[in-house]
């Protein structure tokens, strides 16, 4: 292809007009945009007439669209079960295409040519529902007649007037420009693009590898200062690696259960081991539900998961079986606790009699309010903050995206208190009281060997929380857990780093004290294994 483009630029008569016609015709099967831009470049350089270039691309586009329809018609609804199709067309796009096609008929075929992301699923859907081939082909041809001259003609004009000196660069620029223009022609894609820009501009949405780079450098400096790079891993001798990564939630629950003060705050749970057959795991889950007298919803999550990955709230036996079947790892099945959610970060020096609450975070579950006109998808896209996490919210609410909430109806977008899944975190220091601090300290002191980490807690009310009453412990995380109050919008990036740097200073200092008291050190090789294992 590069040689061909170069030949266009140099004007070498290496291919006849007929050969170019078939090259552009078949090229549309690979990439319509690239073929049309290449055809426009050839026309601009006199290698082929503009009319013939347009005809080649038009014919290729029309035939390619008919082939998509034929594939859908031949295989029917099963076309979406194909692995390649599943990668190209999401389940949400499938449902939208079928619904849109059913409601709008052949007009959908014409419009999908000009709305990015809908052409492939719409044409497959048309074949799957066995739309009238005559009418369908007519609309396809009409759409191609309008579409192709615009694309090929714009490419020829741009190259002839703006980029004549370098065809290769011009083609690359035009392909990118056309793709961006067509992609942003959709309101949804424009809003998603704006959300992406906001994520770049707002540090709380930065990738963890980017955001935590300065923290990693600071932790390394602390290790050098204490002459022990892994001292922080001794902050919690009761947890392997101090809870650096991959710690067992089940083992931590058992450690907490030894604390008499924690008993009333524990949630019932069971471990479903991946080494057992699927039938045995499903039976163990049902036994847990029956013996503990629990009802749905329940929570299922990886025993060694982090940042909310694969955590699910299952609301029926069918959903429970599907989750267990899908997740091929050790799982924790846990009682569900309702109510507001908070995180409480705690630490205690082993030589001190009492511990301290380092921070409290209130977790809010974002909602959008219906206007009686917009779909849930549109409400998410229109919300100035929700648009930043739109794809996460789309995944969570896939079944309801095209439902129109009633005017004034509040729709909760997530129900898991994880920032990476879209929960909103605000500083909850106002909930800190002597009674709460005393209760958390009693729980932690009953867990021998635990000094530093974060509780995730569901509460009946914030008033009860402040009294240290009526709350349930969802999880307890170790030394690399995060003081999540940093994500409160009132904190700047420098504020967040100041909090995290203090957190890591405490981790090292507590670890050093534990090592001096005889705690077993975690070697560098073990930490590397935990990090990458």
Q: What's the pLDDT at 502?
A: 97
C-alpha of 422 from chain center: 9
Q: Taking the CB of residue 52, how many other CB atoms lie within 10 A of it?
A: 17
The kind and range of the H/E element at 154 are helix 133-161
Tokens of 154: 């714009």
Q: What's the pLDDT at 103?
A: 58
| Structural domains of the chain, ranges and CATH numbers in brackets | 2-185 (no CATH), 226-267+337-365+414-533 (3.30.470.20), 268-336 (3.30.1490.20), 367-412 (no CATH)
* Sign of the CA dihedral with 452 first, then 456, 462, and 465 last: negative
Q: What's the pLDDT at 99?
A: 59
Q: Which of 125-139, 257-271, 408-422 has the lowest mean pLDDT?
A: 125-139
In the predicted structure, residue 79 carries a pLDDT above the cut 60 = no
**Closest to 337 (Cα-Cα) out of 259, 264, 442, 267:** 267
Q: What's the pLDDT at 176?
A: 64
Q: Could you tell me the pTM of the whole model?
A: 0.74
> If pLDDT is split at 50, 70 and 90, which confidence band does 3 have?
very low
Q: What is the pLDDT of residues 497-528, one digit of tens each?
A: 999 999 999 999 999 999 999 999 888 888 88
Tokens of 138: 């007519």
Tokens of 509: 């200092």
**Closest to 277 (Cα-Cα) out of 236, 245, 325:** 325
């Amino acid at each position: 292809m590069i040689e061909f483009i170069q030949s266009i630029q140099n004007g070498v008569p290496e291919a006849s007009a007929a050969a170019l016609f078939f090259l552009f015709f078949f090229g549309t099967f690979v990439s319509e945009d690239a073929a049309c831009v290449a055809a426009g470049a050839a026309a601009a350089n006199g290698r082929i007439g503009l009319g013939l270039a347009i005809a080649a691309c038009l014919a290729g586009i029309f035939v390619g669209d008919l082939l998509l329809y034929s594939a859908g018609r031949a295989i029917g609804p099963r076309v979406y079960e194909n692995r390649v199709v599943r990668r190209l067309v999401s389940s949400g796009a499938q449902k939208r295409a079928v619904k849109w096609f059913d409601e709008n008929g052949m007009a959908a075929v014409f419009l999908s040519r000009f709305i990015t992301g809908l052409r492939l699923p719409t044409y497959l859907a048309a074949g799957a529902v066995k739309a009238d081939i005559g009418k369908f082909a007519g609309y396809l041809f009409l759409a191609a007649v309008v579409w192709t001259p615009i694309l090929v003609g714009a490419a020829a004009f741009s190259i002839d007037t703006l980029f004549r000196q370098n065809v290769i660069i011009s083609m690359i620029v035009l392909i990118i420009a056309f793709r961006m223009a067509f992609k942003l022609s959709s309101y949804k894609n424009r809003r998603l693009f704006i959300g992406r820009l906001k994520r770049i501009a707002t540090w709380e949405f930065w990738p963890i590898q980017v955001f935590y780079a300065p923290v990693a450098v600071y932790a390394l400096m602390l290790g050098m200062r204490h002459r022990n790079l892994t001292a922080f891993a001794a902050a919690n001798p009761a947890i392997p690696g101090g809870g650096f990564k991959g710690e067992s939630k089940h083992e931590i629950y058992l450690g907490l259960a030894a604390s008499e003060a924690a008993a009333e705050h524990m949630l019932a749970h069971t471990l479903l081991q991946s080494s057992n057959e699927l039938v045995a795991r499903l039976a163990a889950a049902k036994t847990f539900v029956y013996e503990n007298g629990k009802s749905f919803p329940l929570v299922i999550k990886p025993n060694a998961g982090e940042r909310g990955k694969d955590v699910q709230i299952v609301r029926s036996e069918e959903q429970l079986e599907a989750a267990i079947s899908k997740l091929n790892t050790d799982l924790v099945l846990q009682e569900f606790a309702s109510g507001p959610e908070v995180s409480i970060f705690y630490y205690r020096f082993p030589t001190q009699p009492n511990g301290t609450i380092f921070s409290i975070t209130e977790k809010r579950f974002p909602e959008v309010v219906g206007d009686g006109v917009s779909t849930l998808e549109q409400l998410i896209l229109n919300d100035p903050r929700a648009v930043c996490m739109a794809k996460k919210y789309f995944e969570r609410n896939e079944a309801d995206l095209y439902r129109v909430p009633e005017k004034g109806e509040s729709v909760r977008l997530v129900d898991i208190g994880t920032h990476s899944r879209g929960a909103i975190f605000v500083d909850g220091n106002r909930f800190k009281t002597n009674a709460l601090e005393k209760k958390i300290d009693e729980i932690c002191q009953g867990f021998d060997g635990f000094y530093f980490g974060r509780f995730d807690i569901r509460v009946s009310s914030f008033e009860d929380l402040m009294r240290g009453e009526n709350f349930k412990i969802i999880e307890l995380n170790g030394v690399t857990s995060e003081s999540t109050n940093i994500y409160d919008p009132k904190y700047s990036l420098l504020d967040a780093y100041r909090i995290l740097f203090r957190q890591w200073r405490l981790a090292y200092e507590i670890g050093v004290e534990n090592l001096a008291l005889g705690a077993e050190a975690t070697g560098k090789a073990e930490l590397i294994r935990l990090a990458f294992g």
